[in-house]
Structure 1
Amino acid sequence: MSATDTPAGTPSRVLIVVTHLLGVGHLARMAAVGRAMAAAGVDVTLASGGRAAATVDTTGCHRIQLPPVHCVGTDFRTLYAAPGIIADAAYLAARRAALIEAFDAVRPDALITELYPFGRRSLAAEFDALLRHARAATPRPVILASIRDVLNPPSRPEKAEGALTTLAAFYDGVLFHGAAALVPLSASWPVPPALERRLIETGYVHDGARAAGNGGTDGTDEIVVSGGGSAAGLPLARQALAAARLVPERQWRLLVGSGVAIEAFEGLVADAPANMRVERARPDFPALLARAALSISQAGYNTVLDLAAAGARAILVPFAEGAEQEQTQRAGELARRGLVRRLAAATLTGAELAATVRAALGEPRPDWSGIGRDGAARTAARVEEAIIRRRAAGHAWARLETTLARARKAGRPLAFWWRDDDAIAPTPALDTLLAARARWAVPLSLAVIPARATPALAERLAGEAQVDVLVHGWAHVNHAPAGEKKAEFGAHRPRASMIADIAAGRARLDALFGARALPVFVPPWNRIAPELAEGLPALGIAALSTYKRRPPDGPAAPLRLNTHWDPIDWRAGGGLAEEAGLLDGLVRRIEEELASQPDVLEPIGLLTHHLVHDGWIDRFLGEVMDRLLASGTVRFTSPRALLAAQAGRR
């Protein structure tokens, strides 16, 4: 059995890594996802890096408790191992070692990191160590990030750029536990196309089982006040004490999180008026909400979903200390939709809260039905689909290795060449492309658009080795009628106009790039009228390069130097196409070469478009090139070498 094989009937294994630093919301959401996966037959391990939370149900999941850390207030950069004891380097190293040990013990088919790399940057060292370890594993698991509906916006653009870089380097996708129709991720975080393509919308994750009634009567017609699992809810709790005194005709219940110190809890009990009961947070909180007349709370993800499940009247006082904006944004959106009343924590008084309570109690219960809450089950399904795709890719990689080994054993060298289209000027994307070429030490052919090429591009290429320039049409302008496939040199234009453009294009590139420019024509969109193609030699064009296998019975001139493999999913609007399909396509092309006569080998052309690459395309292309170059049978050639060989045969 190969490393990519999974015995029939073996359940998928998933490792979820989560660290909650203040309240328990992050852990509760991941526990709900884990239980949904376990219910679907998945073997789930939950590695928790926060303090133990008795109210979080992890039934059905294996639970690993890492050496815990927590923070105080909104200082997420300072991590504590215990109250008053800062987590030192040795303590954090022990966490990293425990994470790697957990990964090796589980050998997961899927690794899910909650919030990272969008947050938890204070724990970046341990997450990055885990990610590097996971990427090197055989078989490699699918790697997914898990985020809620609203993130705390990055304080600087560099943070969003850094998160995207990490995602592209390690991750396959991002589980978005929200609904774009309600609150799109772009409302709180920059979402460039590369990230948009990797979002897997699951809907909201809610613990439906926890929301079921427990048969009790506690909370009936009461005003229930909750402040989450940490001390961050204390300011709201103290204003609720004052408000309760101003609304004496109602029974109030204050729930205090386990993260609140005993001294503070006892102080609230002592200060509470006769119409308020103060107790620790309860696992049946959703059932209390369903019976309550009104809820007063912060605007955390899980709390809002509990409110939606209960169909509750609600006053939200979002946590907004420091630079925190997540709850404020969520509460604002819900208030805009008429589902809640929102008050600002910074200016909240007992009198304001009491007046809002009286107003809210006089209104009908809102309709929360627009917020779907089946995200846990949908997440389980999406993760299983991702695992299946990852396994398919693993099998495809194995097929590529087997095919390359067969060619090596047969003593059959495989010729490849590389063309990249649409170059016009120096860009960071071009720098990335040229750096990759230098790393692989293979020839690169840049198809440059003559009408738009800049002298700066010539200057940028001046010091580059093994980079040739090809004639990429004239202006890369579509002349095809509406409804037809795009073409600049199709049958839709006068032949004389196209001939003039080809001549002008070659002359301009010769002037800009000198000997680096080759007489190789690359029609935009890889389309050219057949009669024009046959006439290219008369224009001084020695070779034509389009896409797909060259016609076996085509004219001898010009020389056909086609490309055959493109990693971009153009039909889906860009981004990396499905890995398994790409690899299988490459294997088929190699097999075609192995089945042909050695003296009629057609170099396999790799086609890229650096200007529209994202990190996922670059990562995959790098993996493919590394495999090809390590095969011992692949050699990269160039149009320059092929043209010289053709001239030598004449």
Structure 2
Amino acid sequence: MSVAIAVTHLLGVGHLARAAAIGRALAQRGHAVTLVSGGMPAPLVDVTGLNLMQLPPVRVAGTAFTTLLAPDGTPADAARLEERRRILAETVRALAPDVLVTELFPFGRRVLADEFLATIDAARAARPDGLVLASVRDVLAAPGKPARVGQTHERVARLYDGVLVHGDPALLPLDRSWPVDETLRPRLIYTGYVADSRAAGTGGSRTGEILVSGGGSAASLPLYRAALGAAARVDRPWRILVGHGVDADSFAALRAAAPANAVVERARPDFPALLAGAALSVSQAGYNTAVDLLRTGTPAVLVPFAAGRETEQTLRAEALAAAGLAVSLAEADLSPETLAEAVTAALTRAPSPAPAIPLDGAERTARIVEDLARRPAAPAIRRPGHDWRPLDEALRRRADDGVPVAIWWRDDDAVAATPALERLLTTSRHLAWPVGLAVVPALLEPSLAEHLASEPEVDVLVHGLRHRNHAPAGAKKSEFGADRPLSALLRDTVRALRLTRAAFPHAVVPVFVPPWNRIDPALAQRCADLGFHAVSTFRRAAPHGPGLLPLETHLDPVDWRGGRGLVDPDHLIRGLAADIADAWTPLGVLTHHLAQDEATWAFVETLLDRLAASPAVIRTSARAVLRPAGERMLEAV
């Protein structure tokens, strides 16, 4: 694929470093990645394998993020901003990327909204079916005005196919910092944390050194100065790495003030290795530093940057402290004395076990982007607001355990080509998720076979014979229940398979789907002899005879006893989450395209969309599940 990543870092280099790590992961998988950077050049950021395009840079002073400056400190004028927009649009137009990723926007960088929006317009014009994704860190700065939150959500809904959240909801869910509503929640895709690929996996042997770092900007000068005073009070070797955003005079003053046990030097490319070997880290709580701490397991004192009402680092520091991974010291309380006390406390505290936080976010992001890009252009899908957290948590645990769950999709009662059927198939195509269509053989109309002739991904299953109830009055409905002679059941089952194969000679997957999901155990014992590979019901654990594989369904959204509307969505979500937690065989989602109202359709589409986006889910089909059984039967013949 051709991938374009647009990023502008204004203060430190964290945004650029994260975007570059994701770009490298995509490039390592064979994709052509162009990284368009609009911030100041950052020589220590690894752009190996990337096509780096540098825009006329802008920066900010302190926390004045709405006042853009040129490199020399003068205001960035209209001509500079227009030149940036032109280069961005021309670059994207020429690339016609399969995937465009905007880093932080539309959740931040509103001062650069014109150029980001122009970039998206250029990408859509060059490749209408391309993918547009937002890429954000684990914590966002929510605007104070509700209207700006609404504007962000509207832009996401209108322009974006998904939001990649580079964090873990178990440690720090996005709604801790941003007002996530039910229009945004379905678009969030947690990738795990994006770690520097050069960082060591564990601390190993520690050198006893206290390592002080502060990112790439001058915002860490108060921390550096306090560290020099703390070093005079704590008799340990100290190493203070000063970012390249600190001017030469300030750097010289720091070196001159250093006590004998402290070394002051510029930030080094081998920082991850130094951190892995340090006895203690003292730093702010920026994203990249926090990820390095999680990866190396180095004990830490965090002094989160909080000037200008910034809350990002404070939230992150609090989360790490709550997990027992750091001591947090508020910036307002920072002094040589308080820092020395915090360092002493951190050095003497018992280590906490590292939580199971995914740190391969760059590689996960690359796989997620590939998966999303393989899907055809999406139809407009309504996304109802429900509490998806139990499902998200169950999927996250399966992903963390490295044990994905296979899920297949069955839809019942097809007899003809209808608008409802087309909606079903459109959703199937959009998600690249084959559907097993259970057809009623004796009621088939020619239009169904004609329509499915151009749908090679559809598996045709056998849904009884006439879908006619033969149960006595007062009994539960069934067509193939024990109320009829076994000889009649066998005759109708054979005829059903013959009619289905005649209508769909190349699409039939020999799965018997008894209407109302009820079947006489004696018939189930004979189904393999009749040519079937499986019997599929709903949560009934139908008796499977010799040669049959289990192919059950587990979620049916239609409230058949309560007016045929949507079953309580939270009940459905919790039930599926429990099934996913315990599943060792494929799970099945059961739909009924002819019976579903709009609320049920919306729920189904959103559910399948969320499942398809999860790295913990293998989208499978009846044909794929049963292929081994079919191969064994052919070998036997």
Q: Quick one: which amino acid aligns to residue 143 of structure 1?
A: V
User: What pairs with 1:181-580 in structure 2 (closer than 5 Å)?
Assistant: 181-211=170-200, 220-247=207-234, 249-390=235-376, 485-486=558-559, 568-571=601-604
Per-residue deviation, 1:286: 1.1
How many residue pairs are counted as aligned between the two chains?
416
Answer whether contact 1:312 1:365 (CA < 8 A) is retained: no
Aligned to 1:78, the other structure's residue is in SS state coil
Select the structure of larger CA radius of gyration.
1
Answer whether contact 2:237 2:261 (CA < 8 A) is retained: yes
Per-residue deviation, 1:83: 2.8
| Structure 2: distance between partners of 1:303 and 1:488 | 55
User: What pairs with 1:55-204 in structure 2 (closer than 5 Å)?
Assistant: 55-204=44-193
Per-residue deviation, 1:182: 1.3
Would the alpha carbon gap of residues 140 and 81 (structure 1) be closer, same or farther in structure 2, given more than 3 Å must change? farther
Would the alpha carbon gap of residues 41 and 574 (structure 1) be closer, same or farther in structure 2, given more than 3 Å must change? closer
- 1:35 aligns to 2:68 (yes or no): no
Residue-by-residue CA offset, 1:308-348 (whole Å, 9 max, x unaligned): 22210100000011121000001001111111000011121
Aligned to 1:194, the other structure's residue is in SS state coil
| Structure 1: distance between partners of 2:557 and 2:308 | 56
Would the alpha carbon gap of residues 343 and 570 (structure 1) be closer, same or farther in structure 2, given more than 3 Å must change? same
Answer whether contact 1:314 1:340 (CA < 8 A) is retained: yes
| Structure 1: distance between partners of 2:608 and 2:360 | 29
Q: Quick one: which amino acid aligns to residue 216 of structure 2?
A: G
Q: Quick one: which amino acid aligns to residue 271 of structure 2?
A: F
| Structure 2: distance between partners of 1:566 and 1:351 | 61
| Structure 2: distance between partners of 1:212 and 1:59 | 21
Would the alpha carbon gap of residues 489 and 296 (structure 1) be closer, same or farther in structure 2, given more than 3 Å must change? closer
TM-score by length of 2: 0.61
Would the alpha carbon gap of residues 327 and 88 (structure 1) be closer, same or farther in structure 2, given more than 3 Å must change? same
Residue-by-residue CA offset, 1:268-312 (whole Å, 9 max, x unaligned): 111111111111111111111111111100001110111122210
Residue-by-residue CA offset, 1:111-162 (whole Å, 9 max, x unaligned): 0000000000111110111112222333431000000111112212112111
Q: For residue 430 of structure 1, what is the aligned residue in structure 2?
A: none
| Structure 1: distance between partners of 2:344 and 2:561 | 70
Q: Quick one: which amino acid aligns to residue 66 of structure 2?
A: R
| Structure 2: distance between partners of 1:16 and 1:201 | 18
Per-residue deviation, 1:237: 0.6
User: What pairs with 1:4-43 in structure 2 (closer than 5 Å)?
Assistant: 12-43=1-32
Answer whether contact 2:198 2:272 (CA < 8 A) is retained: no
Q: Quick one: which amino acid aligns to residue 243 of structure 1?
A: A
Residue-by-residue CA offset, 1:164-201 (whole Å, 9 max, x unaligned): 01111110000010111111111110111111100111
| Structure 1: distance between partners of 2:377 and 2:605 | 22
Q: Quick one: which amino acid aligns to residue 50 of structure 2?
A: C
Answer whether contact 2:557 2:604 (CA < 8 A) is retained: no
Would the alpha carbon gap of residues 351 and 42 (structure 1) be closer, same or farther in structure 2, given more than 3 Å must change? same
Q: Quick one: which amino acid aligns to residue 260 of structure 1?
A: V
| Structure 1: distance between partners of 2:610 and 2:281 | 48
Gaps of 5+ in 1: 1-11, 395-414, 418-482, 491-522, 526-546, 550-561, 580-650
Q: For residue 504 of structure 1, what is the aligned residue in structure 2?
A: none
Gaps of 5+ in 2: 381-417, 421-555, 567-591, 613-637
Q: Quick one: which amino acid aligns to residue 73 of structure 2?
A: G
Answer whether contact 1:43 1:61 (CA < 8 A) is retained: yes
Aligned to 1:80, the other structure's residue is in SS state coil
Q: Quick one: which amino acid aligns to residue 342 of structure 1?
A: S
Q: Which moved more, 1:293-302 or 1:153-162?
A: 153-162
Per-residue deviation, 1:110: 0.2
Would the alpha carbon gap of residues 48 and 484 (structure 1) be closer, same or farther in structure 2, given more than 3 Å must change? closer
Per-residue deviation, 1:30: 0.8
| Structure 2: distance between partners of 1:34 and 1:577 | 24
Q: Quick one: which amino acid aligns to residue 570 of structure 1?
A: F
Answer whether contact 1:568 1:576 (CA < 8 A) is retained: no
Aligned to 1:76, the other structure's residue is in SS state coil
Aligned to 2:68, the other structure's residue is in SS state strand
Q: Quick one: which amino acid aligns to residue 86 of structure 1?
A: P
Answer whether contact 1:569 1:576 (CA < 8 A) is retained: no
Q: Quick one: which amino acid aligns to residue 165 of structure 1?
A: E
Aligned to 1:570, the other structure's residue is in SS state helix
| Structure 1: distance between partners of 2:219 and 2:208 | 26
Would the alpha carbon gap of residues 276 and 192 (structure 1) be closer, same or farther in structure 2, given more than 3 Å must change? same
Would the alpha carbon gap of residues 346 and 390 (structure 1) be closer, same or farther in structure 2, given more than 3 Å must change? farther
Q: RMSD over aligned Cα, in angstroms?
A: 3.1
| Structure 2: distance between partners of 1:299 and 1:263 | 25
Would the alpha carbon gap of residues 203 and 70 (structure 1) be closer, same or farther in structure 2, given more than 3 Å must change? same
Would the alpha carbon gap of residues 325 and 385 (structure 1) be closer, same or farther in structure 2, given more than 3 Å must change? same
Answer whether contact 1:100 1:130 (CA < 8 A) is retained: yes
Aligned to 1:197, the other structure's residue is in SS state helix
Per-residue deviation, 1:365: 3.6
Per-residue deviation, 1:19: 0.6
| Structure 2: distance between partners of 1:278 and 1:350 | 16
Would the alpha carbon gap of residues 563 and 318 (structure 1) be closer, same or farther in structure 2, given more than 3 Å must change? closer
Residue-by-residue CA offset, 1:610-635 (whole Å, 9 max, x unaligned): xxxxxxxxxxxxxxxxxxxxxxxxxx
Answer whether contact 1:153 1:325 (CA < 8 A) is retained: no
| Structure 1: distance between partners of 2:351 and 2:419 | 67
| Structure 2: distance between partners of 1:416 and 1:574 | 21
Match of 2:37 among 44, 48, 65: 48
Per-residue deviation, 1:366: 3.4
Aligned to 1:30, the other structure's residue is in SS state helix
Per-residue deviation, 1:485: 4.2
Q: Quick one: which amino acid aligns to residue 117 of structure 2?
A: D
TM-score by length of 1: 0.60
Would the alpha carbon gap of residues 569 and 270 (structure 1) be closer, same or farther in structure 2, given more than 3 Å must change? same
Per-residue deviation, 1:220: 2.6
Q: Percent identity?
A: 51
Aligned to 1:72, the other structure's residue is in SS state coil
| Structure 2: distance between partners of 1:180 and 1:128 | 29
Answer whether contact 2:68 2:76 (CA < 8 A) is retained: yes
Answer whether contact 2:210 2:238 (CA < 8 A) is retained: yes
Answer whether contact 1:134 1:140 (CA < 8 A) is retained: no
Per-residue deviation, 1:578: 11
Q: Quick one: which amino acid aligns to residue 242 of structure 1?
A: G
| Structure 2: distance between partners of 1:281 and 1:239 | 18
